[in-house]
Amino acid sequence: MTVERMETCAQRCGPSAPPVLVLNPRNKYTYKRLSSCSSTVAVESTRDLWDRIFIQGYSADVMVQTNDGTIPAHGAILGMASPVIDGMLRSSKRRQHHRKIISIRCVPHDAVRVFLRFLYSSCYEQEEMDHYILHLLVLSHVFMVPSLKKLCVQALEKGLLNVDNVIDVLQLSRLCDTSRLSVLCQRMILNDFGLVSATEGWKVMRQSNPLMERELVDLVERKKERQKKQEEQKIYLQLNQAMEALVHICRDGCRTIGPHDKVPRISTDPCNYPACKGLEALVRHFADCKRRVAGGCPHCKRMWQLLELHSRICEETEIKNCRVPLCWIFKEKLKKGNKKDDPKFKLLVSKVLEAKSRSRPSSLLAMTSAST
């Protein structure tokens, strides 16, 4: 084999193998390092050997009893792989044909077989792993096999978790102390609560664990309340943007509309005020509509509400300083008491002012850009 082929083979097979202890002619031990390819082949052949030892039950000294039968095994291997099984073997006094007997019940027979096979060789069939994933998660936690537990959690996170089993997985994740998996389950329940609450798992959980049901329902209600507040804040922010755009149009003008004493700024660049385009169309409609006198036009009614809202949040104290139409008239009516102060409208004003205070830095930036 040439040097180039040896290097290519080493890169394909991964890192180099650890040194092997050999006896030299002078009866002294020295270390000889195996190549990467020979190390990989040795690992695979060793894994196959342990797998065959379990499947064939060669020289088994332990019988594992399940709900539907027994599985031959080797106490030394099980004890090294699981400290819990090691304790069970040490305390077991039951024997059958010179073999110790331990019991693993309350899970399917095939799930126990897949579990024990993993203890021997870390081998498993993917179809069996997917089918018994929840049982294997419980077994790996109870018998303290962290490598299998990690595999089960990763498999659930990467696709085996679904609407039908999310309730069962959530309960098991709390019992098995897998906090990340528990968070993922809660997130799925919150996002698909309608589908999850109609599953059989939810109905069983509601009967057996009403406290968890109450907890999850509270989480869903808090999420809805949070989303509602976010939607309200979004509306208040849009109203504040409309107020800024209204002042911008009436004071500076924008594109094809503006105050009568100024020439509109013709430009193809987008306006820095997000609500300017929609408000411009509303102002044009308000100027030309014939139904607004009778109060029969919803668009004009909305324009009246925007003008009154501006008058409530306008900080100008002199009439000549504010270019928005009707601003001073609304202020005078409110001072003289000719207009009743609607509590709902007053609350709306306070919410828009809060949104204005939060968005003041961005509005100042937009005003600066517009002026330049």
pLDDT score of 369 more than 70:
no
What residue has token string 């599985």?
71
pLDDT score of 38 more than 70:
no
What average pLDDT is seen over the chain?
81
What residue has token string 């044009």?
284
Whether 310 and 324 have beta carbons less than 8 Å apart is answered as: yes
Whether 199 and 162 have beta carbons less than 8 Å apart is answered as: no
The pLDDT of residue 187 is 94
Percentage above 90 pLDDT, the chain: 41
Which residues sit opposite 30 in a β-bridge? 22
Interatomic CA distance for residues 240 and 252, integer angstroms: 18
Interatomic CA distance for residues 18 and 20, integer angstroms: 7
Using the Cα atoms of residue 161, residue 167, residue 170 and residue 176 in order, give the sign of their dihedral.
negative
Rounded to 5°, the CA angle 348-334-315 comes to 65
Closest CA to 278 of 263, 308, 304, 257: 257
pLDDT score of 128 more than 70:
yes
Percentage above 70 pLDDT, the chain: 79
Whether 91 and 80 have beta carbons less than 8 Å apart is answered as: no
Q: How confident is the model at residue 189 (pLDDT cuts 50, 70, 90)?
A: very high
pLDDT score of 351 more than 60:
yes
Q: How confident is the model at residue 28 (pLDDT cuts 50, 70, 90)?
A: very low
Q: Is 71 strand, coil or helix?
A: strand
The pLDDT of residue 78 is 94
In this prediction, residues 339-345 reach a mean pLDDT of: 71
